[in-house]
């Protein structure tokens, strides 16, 4: 082989496969207190003084920032002269990344289910292999399903759990995990819920598992999730090359992907989304430009033809939130979601149940009020277009102490409290009448009836 070609291939191979190294990096939690503070943080981002774990920079919103060793002096000196609050949360980022891969010991860490465990975070292949094992071990109850394919042609795989396949007029629920690649606690939670549905003897879990046909997708962004294991631990988006280009002050690889939770075709690109391919919240060149978001939407619409979908739960991390649709609205506009009051009630009771076990506090509300406004998210689209009554985005542990690098020791405690919340969510949902088909239209017709009676009384 010509040596020039050889070196070209060698360099290309090295660039493509170089594992992102965070040696010397620290993570700081910063809270801007004025508009000038926000401008300074934006300048930090533009000039690569640091990378943020959250692209939303607004007054009083705390955000984690990764700062390389050679920038820490500049960062600390610059912020000292401002109102920005700075707290070091991860003193050695590379070590935290490596520590997260070490299996936990202690509390229930030896527990396994068909070769799968929750003492560590598993890669895509292990999750997919485990789902195959469940299909073989639960014939007639668990079936495999492929939602579609990713940009890099990976299957978006899941399972359907149905204890009453002969039943007509079925109720259905969808669990969506890992739309964002680096949020590893999401698939660790969704797989635990599957295990509970298949093994729990708690009557409430049994009822939930057996009265609803569950469509479970632990990883809907398989390329990004795979990439977060092999190359770039902090990867969030999918791996779309369509808008690849030069990223000023940042690694060009940043433009290699679309934020799938900004790519859905409902109020797309209106707020809390970026048209810059180098941003972590790049909404894509157009709504539904990505095969992963198209696959989810098509799957939901097809399923709607087969029965009533009552749940759509999208698992993310971190911040401990139960988010109600819609994410672009605030104030009285929250009522745009026709059963907002019910979802709020269900969310609050679920958060109370979560807190009971370890005191973990979850906040409940629309994104604009408890996080920040966003648009183009999957769960908002599901609520608006597929009209699924109980739709939430759930941001799991923690509050930013470890963020995406949640230690494996916290997986099982997180899963136990999440399950408590899910049981209560289902109890209240049932109590509010959502198990009866067409509950929503009944609620609406009842409201119309009451309104008509009031008008009649007024005019008599
Ligand atoms: Zn997320």
**Calpha distance 45→42 (Å, rounded):** 5
Are 62 and 26 part of one and the same domain?
yes
Distance, CA 180 to ligand 1 centroid (Å)?
Answer: 5
- Tell me if 220 is assigned to some domain: yes
Q: What pLDDT score was predicted for residue 74?
A: 96
Q: In this predicted structure, what is the pLDDT of residue 436?
A: 87
DSSP 253-276: GGGS---GGG-SSSSTTSSS-BS-
Catalytic residue among 395, 401, 417, 424: 395
Answer yes or no: do 95 and 116 share one domain: no
Residue 453 counted as domain residue: no
Q: Are residues 151 and 294 in the same domain?
A: yes
User: Is 415 within the bounds of a domain?
Assistant: yes
Say how many Å lie between the CA of residue 179 and the centre of ligand 1. Answer: 7
Ligand 1 center to residue 401 CA distance, Å?
Answer: 17
Long-range pairs for 65-74: beta carbons < 8 A, 24 or more residues apart: 65/27, 65/28, 65/29, 65/30, 65/41, 66/22, 66/25, 66/26, 66/27, 66/93, 66/234, 67/25, 67/26, 67/27, 67/28, 68/24, 68/25, 69/23, 69/24, 69/25, 69/26, 70/24, 72/26, 74/49
* Distance from residue 54's CA to the centre of ligand 1 (Å): 10
Domain end, chosen from 66, 100, 134, is at: 100
Q: Clarify whether residues 68 and 136 are in a common domain.
A: no
Looking at residue 68, its pLDDT comes to 96
Amino acid 457: pLDDT: 47
Please report the pLDDT score of residue 9 as a whole number. Answer: 43
Residue 220 backbone dihedrals phi, psi, to 5 degrees: -90, -5
Residue 58 belongs to domain with CATH number: 3.30.70.340
How far apart CA 319 and CA 150 sit, in angstroms, is: 27
For residues 164 and 243, state if they share a domain. yes
43 is catalytic: no
In a domain, residue 138? The reply is yes
| φ, ψ at 306 (rounded to 5°) | -100, -10
Q: 151 with 218, same domain?
A: yes
Residue 65 shares a structural domain with residue 118:
no
Distance 317 CA to ligand 1 centre (A): 6
Same domain, 247 and 325: yes
Does residue 239 fall inside a structural domain? Answer: yes
Terminal CA-CA length for the chain: 95
DSSP assignment letter at 24: T
Beta-ladder partners of 31: 85
Both 139 and 41 in a single domain? no
Tell which residue, 412, 237, 421, 394, has the closest CA to residue 315. Answer: 394
What's the CA-to-centroid distance between 316 and ligand 1, angstroms? 4
**Residue 450 belongs to some domain of the structure:** no
CATH code of residue 431: 3.40.630.10
What is the C-alpha separation between 103 and 121, in angstroms, rounded? 8
| Same domain, yes or no: 327 and 258 | yes
**Interval between CA 261 and ligand 1 midpoint (Å):** 7
Q: Are 202 and 61 part of one and the same domain?
A: no
pLDDT score, position 130: 98
116/177 same-domain check: yes
What is the extent of the structural domain holding 43?
22-100
Alpha helices (H) along 262-323: 291-304
Reading the chain (460 residues) residue by residue, the pLDDT tens digits are 444 544 444 444 444 558 999 999 999 999 999 999 999 999 999 888 999 998 889 999 999 999 999 999 999 999 999 999 999 999 999 999 999 999 999 899 999 999 999 999 999 999 999 999 999 999 999 999 999 999 999 999 999 999 999 988 899 999 999 999 999 999 999 999 999 999 999 999 999 999 999 999 999 999 999 999 999 999 999 999 999 999 987 889 999 999 999 999 999 999 999 999 999 999 999 999 999 999 999 999 999 999 999 999 999 999 999 999 999 999 999 999 999 999 999 999 999 999 999 999 999 999 999 999 999 999 999 999 999 999 999 999 999 999 999 999 999 999 999 999 999 999 999 999 999 865 544 454 444 444 444 544 444 4
Has residue 299 been placed in a domain? yes
Residues paired with 364 in a beta bridge = 322
Bond preceding residue 398 cis, omega within 30 of 0? yes
Note the pLDDT of residue 206. Answer: 98
The tally of domains found in the chain comes to 2
Query: Is 451 part of any domain?
Result: no
> Which residues, 6+ apart, have CB-to-CB distance to 194 below 8 Å?
134, 159, 161, 214, 216, 218
């Amino acid at each position: 082989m010509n040596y020039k070609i050889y070196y070209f291939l060698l360099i290309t191979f090295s660039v493509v496969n170089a594992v992102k190294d965070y040696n010397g990096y620290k993570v700081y939690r910063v809270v801007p207190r004025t508009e000038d503070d926000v401008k300074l943080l934006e300048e930090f981002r533009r000039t690569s003084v640091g990378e943020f774990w959250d692209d939303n920079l607004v007054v009083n919103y705390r955000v984690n920032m990764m700062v390389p060793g050679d920038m820490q002096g500049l960062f600390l000196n610059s912020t000292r002269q401002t109102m920005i609050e700075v707290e070091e949360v991860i003193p050695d980022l590379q070590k935290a990344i490596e520590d997260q891969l070490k299996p936990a010991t202690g509390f229930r860490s030896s527990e396994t289910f068909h070769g799968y465990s929750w003492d560590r975070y598993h890669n895509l292949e292990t999750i997919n292999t485990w789902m195959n094992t469940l299909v073989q071990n639960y014939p007639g109850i668990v079936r495999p399903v492929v939602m579609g394919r990713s940009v890099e042609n990976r299957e978006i795989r899941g399972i359907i759990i149905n204890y009453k396949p002969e039943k007509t007029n079925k109720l259905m629920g969808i669990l969506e995990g890992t739309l964002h690649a680096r949020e590893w606690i999401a698939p660790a939670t969704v797989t635990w819920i599957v295990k509970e549905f298949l093994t729990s003897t708690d009557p409430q879990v049994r009822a939930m598992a057996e009265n609803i046909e569950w469509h479970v997708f632990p990883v809907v962004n398989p390329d990004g999730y795979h990439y977060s294991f092999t190359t770039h631990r902090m990867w969030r988006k999918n791996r779309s090359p369509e808008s690849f280009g030069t990223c000023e002050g940042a690694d060009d690889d940043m433009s290699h992907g679309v934020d799938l939770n900004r790519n859905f075709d409902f109020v797309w690109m209106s707020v809390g989304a970026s048209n810059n391919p180098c941003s972590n919240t790049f909404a894509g060149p157009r709504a539904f430009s990505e095969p992963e978001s198209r696959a989810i939407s098509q799957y939901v619409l097809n399923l709607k033809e087969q029965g009533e979908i009552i749940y759509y739960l999208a698992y993310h991390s971190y911040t401990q939130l139960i988010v109600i649709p819609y994410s672009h609205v605030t104030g009285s506009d929250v009522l745009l979601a026709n059963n907002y009051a019910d979802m709020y009630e269900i969310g609050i009771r679920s958060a109370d149940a979560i807190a009971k076990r370890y005191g973990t506090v979850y906040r409940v509300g629309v994104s604009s009020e408890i996080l920040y406004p966003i648009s183009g998210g999957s769960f908002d689209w599901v609520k608006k277009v597929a009209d699924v009554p109980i739709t939430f985005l759930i941001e799991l542990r923690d509050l930013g102490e470890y963020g995406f690098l949640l230690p494996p020791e916290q997986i099982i405690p997180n899963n136990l409290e999440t399950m408590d919340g899910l049981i209560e969510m289902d109890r209240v949902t049932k109590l509010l009448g959502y198990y009866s088909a067409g509950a929503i239209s009944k609620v609406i017709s009842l409201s119309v009836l009451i309104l008509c009676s009031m008008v009649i009384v007024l005019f008599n």
